[in-house]
Structure 1
């Protein structure tokens, strides 16, 4: 993924998120993302966790977490609760 696509994804996070229903999950959302490839456009439903989904009211620092393969947002289930009380917004992106 190039920097332009990364910036577009982060800009979309500022739009209204769509809740992603999954048992016992908090602040999990999905967002359609269109990527330009050599063979045309590809649209995926990006799933991510955001501890401050309103974004605009958050004044603290933001950490973006990316898991390895295989993996998911659950890889960070122990660190996200430690950062939230310190005012840190955590955005955890699930790769398709």
Structure 2
């Protein structure tokens, strides 16, 4: 099963995360790069187009590129939290 990675809690990062306030302020039409972990050794960064902010505070979106490592495809729907986001492209 795929697992979303919580990079907010990760102790060591090799890149700068966007500001938490920006990761929490995504709106439909924005893009979020989310990391999906397939197993202990394989994960993949995938751009997700934000479609909706859910009542739970999570985002619902669709994959904006074709994954290679994880068994998903362009257009698949995913639900993720702000802390799963490692990069953003705010279109609005």
TM range (shorter): under 0.3
More helix by share: 1
Higher relative contact order (CA 8 A, sep 6+): 2
